[in-house]
Amino acid sequence: MGAVVTGLRLTADKDTGVAVVTLDRPHRLNAVDLTLRDELIAAWRELRFDDTVRAVVLTGAGERAFCTGLDRDAEVPQPNSPYMADDPLLHLGPKSNDLWKPVIAAVNGMACGGAFYLLGECDFLVADPAATFFDPHTTYGMVSAYESVLMAQLMPHGEAARTALMGTAERLSAERAHAIGLVTELTGPGGALAAAIAAAAVIAGYPPEGVQGTVRALWAAKEGAVQRGFAQAPHLVALGNLPPDRQAELFRSRQPGFRLR
């Protein structure tokens, strides 16, 4: 490992058994285009076969963002049928790609919208004090469907609902995210990646069979709710999303500023 590909860096330390997957589009706030999506899927599937890697850390390059979801400039082809809508981020995360090695997120800067496809399939989150979490969908006339289902597994219902419904008007601070259990460790400035790697190295030192079985058991505890929620999501998106031109108009007219809570 260690190869550099467009939009993604994947490195591994064979001494510790820890791999680091880095979203590497800081000029686009690590937003996911279709190339990066495909690279992430390939990386998760590659890690399934590498027995020298026993734990994984997921992070974003730069200080401004962990990930800001789908790149707004990405062109997503769609079948000409209301029955076959394609969500470009639906299979983005490690669990969706049958990877049952533990994945720890090191969150720096903004994590919003489609970033929850990734965070929702990580086993726990470590955050820098400057990290913030929000979901812009409702502001732009869009249904937060898949994201809300995953957020509801990560935090208390009221917090997930407020985050989804308040759109861009509010952001969840790292301190608040830690208080409600979304984040398990709040580090010093710039310390999230090192803390996540340290935790991953401890876990990687344990027998992998027991670790991977535990990861699978923990996901089993919530995957039923995720599957039921996801089954409703395409219909809710089709019913509730404004046309793309109206979404773009709302995006252009968005108001600056937000409340940090």
Q: 3-class DSSP state for residue 243?
A: coil
User: CB–CB of 115/93 below 8 Å?
Assistant: no
Q: Within 13 Å and on the Cβ side, how many CA atoms surround 134?
A: 21
pTM, full prediction: 0.94
Give the relative orientation of helices 157-165 and 146-154 as an angle to the nearest 10 degrees: 140
pLDDT of 1 reads 46
Phi, psi of 32 (to 5 degrees): -95, 115
Residue segments in the chain with a per-residue pLDDT below the cut of 50: 1-5
| Per-residue model confidence as pLDDT tens digits over 137-172 | 999 999 999 999 999 999 999 999 999 999 999 999
pLDDT of 87 reads 86
Phi, psi of 72 (to 5 degrees): -65, -20
Q: Which domains does the chain have, with CATH numbers?
A: 4-208 (3.90.226.10)
Phi, psi of 96 (to 5 degrees): -65, -20
pLDDT of 202 reads 98
pLDDT of 85 reads 76
